[in-house]
């Protein structure tokens, strides 16, 4: 077994009454942002207040449903005493640490752009993490006003062919039309917007929740990268005409742009099942324990030769298989 901390959807047991300060009144709430040791919790009435987790290990993430009570010292801050069991949890697992993105999600919007040019390795890793977490994913290609659109579209063709929905839009050039494209996907769901820095995630938030005024940054052409403007994941309600939450059911979660995306929580044996184009042909292999690398009678390698699996995808599979095989299981 690996020695580092493993994340799970399990959460600590409910506090017993004698664990609570005298007279503490318990309330429920939703974690809407996290900032190191403290977080913000939204009450059912829509008020947001600073809360502190109790104990060292109770790590809350955006999307967690919690029980809390007011602190005795400060009347406007709370202590979280219980995290409800999570439906799902999206996280990455680097060699030594885990990084949770959010919990209790209905949809992952994998948000990439024509510029900065997206990395297929990152895209593939994000899709695998989503499959492991059992969350539906949709790929969005933003900035289709820019000249590299056709190249980006071609690079996404294998992902369409393997069954992922790919939506194209330009937030800054299509105005309300972009909103009309994306909003029907989001209604009634909690969606995490995940992608590299500079792709326009916070621009989406400001389109859907203009009062949020999420900070938007420039991108550096020289570095083909954004400037990591967003530093915390934050939950926003999609706004209706008046600026108030449209229905308290449609939410988008902004997140910091990612670079690394460790998948150390995935085993090499699991890997082919988490890549739909590989999985489709893995059933045709002669050996049931085929790793789809050099074995004779491999259905995956045959599909590569026939052009049914793209050269990029098989090379990403092979590299990931090797990387995950070095992890001690």
Selected range binding Zn ion among 11-19, 81-89, 180-188, 278-286, rule: CB under 5 A: 278-286
Instruction: Report the residue from 116, 200, 262, 299 that binds ligand GTP according to the rule CB under 6 A.
Output: 200
**Residue 142 site contact among Zn ion, Mg ion, ligand GTP, none (CB < 5 to 8 Å, cut-off depends on kind):** ligand GTP
Instruction: Report the residue from 138, 285, 320, 324 that binds Zn ion according to the rule CB under 5 A.
Output: 285
Q: Is 124 or 142 the residue whose CB approaches ligand GTP more closely?
A: 142
3-state secondary structure the chain: CCCCCCCCCCCCCCCCHHHCCCCCCCEEEEEEEEECCEEEEECCCCCEEEEEECCCCCCCCCCCEEEEEECCCCCCEEEEEEECCCCCEEEEECCCCEEEEEECCCEEEEEEECCCECCHHHHHHHHHHHHHHCCEEEEEEECCCCCCHHHHHHHHHHHHHCCCEEEECCHHHHCHHHHHHHHHHHCCCEEEEECCCCCCHHHHHHHHCHHHCCCCCCEECCCCEECCCCCCCEEEECECCCCCECCCCCEEEECCCCCCCCECCCCCCCHHHHCHHHHHHHCCCCCCCCCCCCCCCCHHHHHHHCCCCCHHHHHHHHHHHHHHHCCCC
**Residue 116 site contact among Zn ion, ligand GTP, Mg ion, none (CB < 5 to 8 Å, cut-off depends on kind):** none
Least separation, in Å, of the C-beta of 324 and Mg ion? 30
Regarding 300 and contact with Zn ion (CB under 5 A), the answer is yes
Regarding 198 and contact with ligand GTP (CB under 6 A), the answer is yes
Q: Determine contact, residues 98/54, Cβ cutoff 8 Å.
A: no
Regarding 203 and contact with Mg ion (CB under 5 A), the answer is no
Give residues with Cβ within 8 angstroms of 51, minimum separation 6: 29, 31, 38, 39, 40, 41, 66, 68, 77, 78, 79, 80
**Residue 200 site contact among ligand GTP, Zn ion, Mg ion, none (CB < 5 to 8 Å, cut-off depends on kind):** ligand GTP
Selected range binding ligand GTP among 7-15, 26-34, 125-133, 198-206, rule: CB under 6 A: 198-206
**Residue 300 site contact among Mg ion, ligand GTP, Zn ion, none (CB < 5 to 8 Å, cut-off depends on kind):** Zn ion
Regarding 217 and contact with ligand GTP (CB under 6 A), the answer is yes
For residue 119, the Cα-to-chain-centroid distance in whole angstroms is: 16
Regarding 202 and contact with ligand GTP (CB under 6 A), the answer is yes
Instruction: Report the residue from 230, 233, 250, 291 that binds ligand GTP according to the rule CB under 6 A.
Output: 230
Q: Is 197 or 310 the residue whose CB approaches ligand GTP more closely?
A: 197
Regarding 292 and contact with ligand GTP (CB under 6 A), the answer is no
Least separation, in Å, of the C-beta of 5 and ligand GTP? 26
Regarding 290 and contact with Zn ion (CB under 5 A), the answer is yes
Regarding 224 and contact with ligand GTP (CB under 6 A), the answer is no
Regarding 202 and contact with Mg ion (CB under 5 A), the answer is yes
State the residues that interact with ligand GTP by CB under 6 A: 142-143, 145-146, 170-173, 197-203, 216-219, 226-230, 256-257
State the residues that interact with Zn ion by CB under 5 A: 285, 290, 292, 298, 300
């Amino acid at each position: 077994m690996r020695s580092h901390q493993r994340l799970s959807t399990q959460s600590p047991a409910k506090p017993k009454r004698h664990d609570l300060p005298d007279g503490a009144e318990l309330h429920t709430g939703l974690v809407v942002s996290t900032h190191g040791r403290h977080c913000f919790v939204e009450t059912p009435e829509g008020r947001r207040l600073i809360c502190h987790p109790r104990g060292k290990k109770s790590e809350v993430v955006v999307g967690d449903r919690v029980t809390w009570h007011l602190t005795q010292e400060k009347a406007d801050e709370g202590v979280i005493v219980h995290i409800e069991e999570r439906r799902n949890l999206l996280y990455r697992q680097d060699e030594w640490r885990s990084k949770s993105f959010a919990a209790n999600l209905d949809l992952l919007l994998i948000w990439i752009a024509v510029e900065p040019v997206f990395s297929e390795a990152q895209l593939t890793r994000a899709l695998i993490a989503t499959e492991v977490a059992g969350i539906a994913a949709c790929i969005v290609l933003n900035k289709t006003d820019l000249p590299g659109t056709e190249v980006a579209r071609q690079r996404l063709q294998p992902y369409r062919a393997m069954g992922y929905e790919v939506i194209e839009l330009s937030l800054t050039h299509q105005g309300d039309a972009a909103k009309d494209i994306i909003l029907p996907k989001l209604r009634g769901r909690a969606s995490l917007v995940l992608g590299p820095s500079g792709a326009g995630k916070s621009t989406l938030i400001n389109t859907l929740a203009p009062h949020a005024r999420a900070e938007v940054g420039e991108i550096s052409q020289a570095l083909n990268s954004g400037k990591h403007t967003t530093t915390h994941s934050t939950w926003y309600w999609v706004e209706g005409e008046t600026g108030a939450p449209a229905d308290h059911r449609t939410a988008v979660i902004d997140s910091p742009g990612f670079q690394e995306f460790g998948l150390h929580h995935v085993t090499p044996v699991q890997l082919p099942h988490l890549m739909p184009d590989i999985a489709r042909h893995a059933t045709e292999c002669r050996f049931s324990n085929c790793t789809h690398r050099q074995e004779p009678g491999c259905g995956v390698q045959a599909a590569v030769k026939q052009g049914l699996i793209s050269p990029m995808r098989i090379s990403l599979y092979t590299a990931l298989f090797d990387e995950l095989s070095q992890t001690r299981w």
